[in-house]
Structure 1
């Protein structure tokens, strides 16, 4: 096995994989990574092997690399990468060989399928313990990825795998939309126009809302929300003028005040869904405001199988196009550089992809 290492901000130096070999990024501990090369992994019974086409980097990957992710939700050393799309190139015993050559994405949570939460369909809340591709299991920052075949969501032959790499965050956005249950004619607001927010805007636009507002401080992101289906956008400091005006509010920013802002936007009897990952010290929601206005507040952690199916159907049906969110594409060996781009949070940085 060969390795090539580099600090964040500097690409690794491993070359293209030799025949029969595969490369992978390995984060040994926070701040330290290697590009390793070795034999291609073989699928066990019930598993498939994926030739990765593209894999997205998100804030969770940056947390993994920086060492700020809660230790219960990461296991070092690990190959990151939970947002990806690719093609099945091998199957294990007991798996339909017709899957070979099929374009696909897959769920990340390795749910037990036996606990009470799994049996009611909430596979993202599995009581068997947290286990997820790219955090506790090898992920897609690699040439090849092996995972259980039961997690696959196959795509049509003509699917754009570059765009499909964003179907994991799209599934989270779909979970939020399903939880918010917008009806045609509802007034809907989205707080935050990052990846989740922009994907949610597209899904919500398909529900025929009477109004679709995006609250976002970055002008470029606000303009992108308008292009993707929002009919209005405003900065957070202007959102107070909209207080009490929305039937459904989706919070996707995870900022210090965004949960509070989302609740203030909701009408009396309205519905608020929180999806952002908040840092310690974020402002809470005023319980008196919740009670007096009889708000229904829900939250989303990851995506269930049902949310994945919803996102994939929206994508294959042409209602969801994640491609405009992609701003950077780098080779696998430039993992360090890609992480630095994500960490810099530049105004023109959207989704960053690694391309094996």
Structure 2
């Protein structure tokens, strides 16, 4: 028998026990080692996630690591027993966006593990084998559970095209922001500043490579590259204001309400502004490559590890916004 956490409708969830799902043609079954919880999971539970990006009932869990337990027809049987992570977007592979490598923008419509398909808040997860990224045999699966947000951070860093010696700022020092710091420091910036109104995030940000942390404003127009990761009202405008004329801004946070940014600042400053939605395969490959090489270790960002039965407590930890709460993992 296999356990899973099912959200039947906003505010209604519980553990379900049944036969473990079997992989079909082209699929694998993964024994989940760890699954991370993020703000989008909270939105799913509370009913604030946009209707186009969720399908109830659903097993959440899009950040995960595990070991291949079984392979379906047409899948290399040697994958069994291998440690893996996997992309979430169930792309069509044939539309123009997929063919150009932007599978996260698949024209067939939004379809993602943990939101429209059963996710990893379960003992067993079934997904297409083509979405897997195989890890080294001795990989730390606890830390590997953060490779999904690391892939998003990778997409942001790759989009930023940071060159050695540039001044870089990161807006927001949550999980995504600190993962960006871990990757950006590998680019040898002259300055790597972080800003977050939560002063208690300073220690983590500095440990992840920031050379400066401010809970208040950073110098306006002082940075060649600015990466926004918070998705809070006003943070996009803050990021644009921090960029020098001719600078580059990457927006990764998705605010829960409409926000405004000054088009005159973008045009007059001749800024390049790029958005990041999820992670394309290339960003996944980059994050996994750094992890496998020992250049990216997200493990220290994990502060809590809970059983599936403690899902309610995990949600409370997310709501509390405490400085001592970093990444929360469920261990099915």
Q: TM-score, normalised by structure 1?
A: 0.92
Q: Distance in 1 between matches of 2:47 and 2:321?
A: 18
Q: Matched residue of 1:65: which SS?
A: helix
Matches within 5 A, 1:59-70: 59-70=39-50
1:264 aligns with 2:244: no
- 1:291 aligns with 267
Q: Does the residue aligned with 1:68 lie in a helix, a strand or coil?
A: coil
Q: Deviations over 1:204-250 (max 9, x none)?
A: 00011111000112222122111111111112x332xx111111100
Give the match for residue 326 of structure 1: 302
Please state if 1:306 is matched with 2:268. Answer: no
Q: Secondary structure at the match of 1:150?
A: helix
CA–CA distance in structure 1, aligned partners of residues 21 and 267 of structure 2? 54
Determine the structure 2 residue equivalent to 1:238.
217
Q: Does 2:202 align with 1:222?
A: yes
| Deviation sequence 1:53-84 (CA, Å, 0-9, x none) | 00000000000000000111100000000000
Q: How is 1:111-190 mapped onto 2 (pairs within 5 angstroms)? A: 111-190=91-170
d(CA) in 2 for partners of 1:110 and 1:258?
A: 30
Give me the whole-angstrom Cα distance separating, in 2, the residues matched to 1:219 and 1:340. 21
Q: For the residues of structure 1 that align with 2:203 and 2:37, how far apart are their CA atoms?
A: 23
Q: Deviations over 1:293-344 (max 9, x none)?
A: 1000011000000000011011111221111111111001111221121122
Q: Whole-Å Cα distance in 2 between the matches of residues 234 and 341 of structure 1? A: 24
Q: What SS does the aligned partner of 2:179 have?
A: helix
**In 1, Cα distance between the equivalents of 2:182 and 2:176?**
10
**Equivalent residue for 1:9?**
none
Secondary structure at the aligned position of 1:178 is classed as helix
Structure 2 counterpart of 1:352, from 319, 328, 331: 328
Distance 1:345 1:93 in 2: 45
Matched, 1:89 2:96: no
CA RMSD of aligned residues (A): 0.8
Secondary structure of the structure 1 residue equivalent to 2:91: coil
Give the SS at the match of 2:217: helix
C-alpha distance in 2 between matches for 1:290 and 1:101: 50
Q: Alignment partner for residue 71 of structure 1, among 51, 66, 73?
A: 51
**Unaligned 5+ runs, structure 1:** 1-20
Give the deviation of 1:281 after TM superposition. Answer: 3.8
Counterpart residue number, 2:254: 277
User: Secondary structure of the equivalent of 2:162?
Assistant: coil
1:279 is paired with a residue whose SS is: coil
Match of 1:5 in 2: none
Q: Kindly indicate whether residue 20 of structure 2 is the aligned counterpart of residue 44 of structure 1.
A: no
Q: How many residues align?
A: 332
Residue matched to 2:60:
80
Q: Are 1:336 and 2:316 an aligned pair? A: no
1:112-144 CA distance string (max 9 Å, x none): 011110011000000001100000000000000
1:79-101 CA-partner distances (Å, limit 9, x unpaired): 00000000001000111111101
Q: Where does 1:17-36 land on structure 2 (aligned, <5 Å)?
A: 21-36=1-16
5+ residue gaps, structure 2: none
Match for residue 224 of structure 2?
247
